[in-house]
Chains A and B, each alone.
Chain A
Amino acid sequence: MTLEQILDRLRTDPALAPHLTAWHEIPARAGSYAPLPASLDPRLAAALRGRGIERLYSHQAQAWEAVRAGHHVVVVTPTASGKTLCYNLPVLDTLLAEPSARALYLFPTKALSMDQVDELLGLVRATDAEIRAYTYDGDTPGDARRAIRSAGHVVVTNPDMLHAAILPHHTKWLRLFEHLRYIVIDELHTYRGLFGSHMANVVRRLRRICRFYGSAPQVICASATIGNPRELAERLLEEPVSLVDENGAPSGPRVFAFYNPPVVNRELGIRRDALTEAGRLAAEFIRNRIPLIAFARSRRAAELLTTGFRRAAEAAHVPAGRVAGYRAGYLPSERRAIEEGLRSGQILAVAATNALELGIDIGRLRAALLVGYPGTIASTWQQAGRAGRTQDLAAAILVATSDPLDQYIVRHPEYFFGRPPEAGLVNPDNLYVLTSHVRCAAFELPFDDNERFGPSTLPEILAYLQDQGIVHREADRWHYVADAYPAQEVSLRSASTENVVIIDTTEPAPRVVGEVDLASAPGLVHEDAIYLHLGQQYHVDRLAWEERKAYVHRVDVDYYTTAQIATDIRVLAEFARGNGAPPPAHGEVVVTYRPTIYKKLTLDRHENIGWGPIHLPESTLHTTAYWLTVPDLAVPRDELQGALVALSHALAHVASLFLMCDPRDLGRAYEVHSPHTDRPTVYLYDTCPGGVGFAERLYRLHPDVLAAARELIAACPCAGGCPSCVGPVLEVGATGKARALQILDARLVPGAVG
């Protein structure tokens, strides 16, 4: 069967068709082209022609013009639309004309930088010029580092290396910084949330160092589709940025379908397993030799899919070598071989995690299966975009799991298709993030009194650092005087560098099985907890809190544990309060966690078979929160409590949808009677100390979030609550779901409350 025939069957098969909740056809699009720019260096033009490029896509030509005009630029186009040429062209053109010029390329991951260096070098070789491009990362050997520092025209690295190895040693990189003409920031969309907030400060430090060496590099950003590329770029650069977002690359017709597996247990809201359903669809593609990529949300799921692929291949007499898995944890050489196999068509089907989502070149396939909603509209489009060639028909199918987000999306396709992708949020002025980087920046160069670094609070922060013995003010300068290398203590990717290490003592030789971050540790690895890792149960024998170590041994028991952590929230300051009665608000809060007891629940029926106390110190979190005051329902207290739990569950999940964040980045709390609002109140707070901007955004999106939460609950077929909407009945009580809906309905009708 051809792909067309498979799709036809899918739509008409009575066993499948009813579960298709969306069938979205995207017509073919012709390309839009522009001639090679007249001002392009003839060597570069010849090199392009030699590689079969006679003309540019219109967005490449626009990017060229914008860069030539001296603007910072952000280019936003889909996967495989020739984005890299948008920056490689102006950079190489400058390097050909001025051999002393330098460029710095930043990619969020190592694998990507390797790919990009290869591509850049391919083009360089074709020009026959002496231009050297190197990756500089943790794997670069010592003697090569010296060569790169003095002779690399293009230095390709990642933000973490820039932050911890290059900027603190900027004097060794004199040649780079003195002559730096371009900074390329690819995969801009990954710099959001906490990572983006750190990145914005790394960029502040980078440009501060450039100023010291007398250079003022132009920045070229490239991004996959997000809702606010220009805003995000401008927040990172703190200067105006030109936007290039009209894609000129052609594409063939595409179909995007949503498939919601049938319900098998209505009471509990359980659906047929998404992995099994996806495996069945994949077998159809493999049997018909349709090149396919499947995305799973976890490594384990990717492995299970791969196993399914192998079986399908065997049944269809496809050689086993033509199907593969791809995830983090594979060796780089293995990954390379798979990428090459996909490009050449040697590999027919691959089951991957989002490790393959980013800009790695694997050619273009004909079908994409998304097993579970990837979490954001933006990554959904990126993953779906892996299928789609310039002419032929391509198909993407999203298979939903029973997660609340998945269920919301597949039941509201209009939300997904009708909405621009999420905005990338950053908060470069998060006090903790900012203070960390002020400290790093002071290490790099003394601060002058009249210098600016982010917001106007700089003098206060420096005065604070002086109190801490980190900087010393003398005349009008602040000098770094501490005996420490500050970048080492600041991780760009997490708020806390502290983890609890889990040590398995089953065998005589203890073995580290994993880590949990400090904040989650009290709930997961308290003494007598059952900790799950890769499907294996471990009993926690001892949690050495001060040493950050949990000692466990392997067990096989028929129960799991769940910790009760009392969360207290206190409003410190209210930044804004909306209209309406009573109004939503956002502000600064302090959250206190106090682990109390744990319960043992049976694996099969979740029955309570025992409990025990948890003896751990309480911890606090200073952050920002959005809160919502609930009208007093005239119901008993425990019913009200159930309603608040239900409401916060649904709100937190839809909120993560709007915020483009992991649901774990949002904490939730409620108070039956809040001393601050004097009413029942539900809080959603940023789990990163200081906040990365979620609270303010939620405050602004308030009506949308409420409407989406209402839709999620109302459309869920379960009776009294399930994990897909408000959480299990066990947690919300018999009336929780109904009461939550009642609250939302009341709130959505203006004037109905108060």
Chain B
Amino acid sequence: MAEAFPGLRERLAAMGAAGRPRRAPDDARHGPAFEVRRTIRPAHEVFGPGGAHPDDEGALFLDTETTGLAGGAGTTPFLIGLALVGRDTVTVEQYFLRRLAGEPAMLAALRGRLVAADTLVTFNGRRFDWPILEARSVISRVPLRPPPDHTDLIGPARRLWHRPLGTHRLTAIERVALGIARTDDVDSALIPSLYLAYLRTGDASGLHAVFAHNAQDVLCLVHLRRRVRRWVEDGEDPPPPVDWEGLGVLRQRAGLGKAALAALRRALANEDDPAARWRVAQRIARLLRRDGRWDDLLELWVREAPGRGVWRARAMVEAARVWARRFRQPERAVAALEDAQAVVEWLLATGAPEAEALAGEVRAHLARYRSLLRRAPPGQTPARSRQPTPSPGASGGLAAPPGC
């Protein structure tokens, strides 16, 4: 513990000898304790071709710079960047704490903006910016109420870019997805110390880079939200690299099944990792089942999804389910399972870890569908049994040797 406070005793002894610390000179900076910096940009510069979405006008885009990243009551937002979208312009407003005493006035100004907005748009604002503002509002006794909606773009960003980029930091996404490369951007880890240096010296020159960084961040939010909407809601394809699976999920959540399916199929086509392929196939299957597209579902399990080994056996089990339940053809189901069983036996022989569990599953299904077969032998299957379109080629595929 002593190491945490180097020279504490010596310093206090020296201070004691010199009397109480002198009152630090009140900062010579005059004028308001917080200031508003406003810049207006033509909308087309921010959005590029295509312009704003009508909803953007009710949104308040927000990004804060703080004295620390830890959160909790003692983290102060010293710069609040806001963007407001008008008909032809985007206005960036930056509230800057010239002195810490200006915080209540700054929060009161923010309150005015929040009240007028119907959506707050942030990047990681649910976990970071908003809780900090809320805490500071309690300490400053300036109550803040959030707009009815809060769109945190970090969610879509994670889905769309984390896997291909290995990160979902805003600047990385900005470069790859929006094609904007920043020059002379300040390292965000340095921002707290730059502000502290300003507080101590009154020299704001070190902060210009921070103002620029924050303005760029908040404009990036405006731009990113628009583009994400196009990719998710309007079915446009984002530039690579992008996580097609993530895009599929986002489209599905937005209720756009067809576009979701397109993205997921693309994900499956591009994916090499068997576990990821399986996950994507499951997502596709869910969408197909919801729409009752049984032919496509069978096609998925028989042709598109199967990989090797375990994955192939699992796909066959899924295919058997479709044959039995949707097409009422237990004999085809049994054939598919027999194929799966051959794979499983080979897996058991090689001692694959999942083989035991899988073998049990295949056996259970096989027993069930065989008993179905005994009750309703082929030829006496109910008249409503349908013939799936891919069946001729499918059986050939099913007869392929295990392990391929």
Contact = CB atoms under 8 A, between A and B. Distances in A.
B180 interface: no
B74 A444 contact: yes
Contacts of A754: none
Nearest to B20: A459
B68 A482 contact: yes
Interface string B1-41: 11011001101100110001100101100000000000000
Interface string A470-485: 0011110101111111
A483 B5 contact: no
Nearest to A474: B100
Nearest to A485: B70
A446 B69 CA distance: 18
B131 to A, nearest CB: 8
Interface in B129-151: 134-135, 138-139
B200 A495 contact: no
B91 interface: no
Could you say which of B1, B26, B27 has the most chain A C-beta atoms within 10 Å of its C-beta?
Answer: B1
A473 B24 contact: yes
A735 B250 CA distance: 86
B4 A489 contact: yes
Contacts, number: 117
Contacts of B134: 171
B193 A442 contact: no
A457 interface: yes
Interface stretch (A30-38, A131-139, A232-240, A460-468): A460-468
A445 B2 contact: no
Interface in B39-88: 67-74, 76
B196 interface: yes
Interface in B89-120: 99-101
Contacts of A472: 100, 196, 199-200
B73 A445 contact: yes
A484 B4 CA distance: 13
A445 B100 CA distance: 13
Contact of B1 (A436, A475, A483): A436
A169 interface: yes
A523 interface: no
B192 interface: yes
A621 interface: yes
A68 interface: no
Q: How large is the interface on A (under 10, 10 to 19, 20 to 34, 35 or more residues)?
A: 35 or more
A464 B12 contact: yes
A301 interface: no
Given A435-B8, A483-B70, A172 B20 contact: no
A443 interface: yes
A464 B11 contact: yes
Contact of B70 (A463, A484, A490): A484
B269 to A, nearest CB: 38
Nearest to B26: A475
A481 B74 CA distance: 8
Given A171-B138, A472-B200, A484-B68, A463 B8 contact: no
A358 interface: no
A168 interface: yes
Nearest to A172: B135
Could you say which of A435, A477, A495, A621 has the most chain B C-beta atoms within 10 Å of its C-beta?
Answer: A435
A463 B21 contact: yes
A506 interface: no
Contact of B9 (A445, A467, A622): A622
B196 A467 contact: no
B73 A474 contact: no
A469 interface: yes
Contacts of A170: 73
A560 interface: no
B73 A460 contact: no
A174 interface: yes
Contacts of B70: 483-485, 488
A431 interface: yes
Could you say which of A475, A486, A490, A622 has the most chain B C-beta atoms within 10 Å of its C-beta?
Answer: A475
Contacts of A473: 24
A431 B195 CA distance: 29
B72 A443 contact: yes
14 contacts: A169-B135, A171-B134, A431-B9, A435-B8, A460-B12, A464-B5, A469-B196, A472-B199, A481-B76, A481-B195, A483-B70, A483-B193, A485-B74, A486-B74
Top 3 A-B pairs, shortest CB-CB distance: A443-B74, A483-B68, A485-B70
Interface of A: 168-172, 174, 431-433, 435-436, 442-446, 457, 459-461, 463-464, 466-469, 472-475, 477, 479-486, 488-490, 495-497, 621-622, 689-690
Interface of B: 1-2, 4-5, 8-9, 11-12, 15-16, 20-21, 24, 26-27, 67-74, 76, 99-101, 134-135, 138-139, 192-193, 195-196, 199-200
Given A443-B72, A464-B12, 13 more contacts: A169-B73, A171-B134, A172-B135, A432-B1, A436-B4, A443-B73, A463-B21, A467-B11, A474-B99, A474-B100, A480-B76, A483-B67, A483-B68
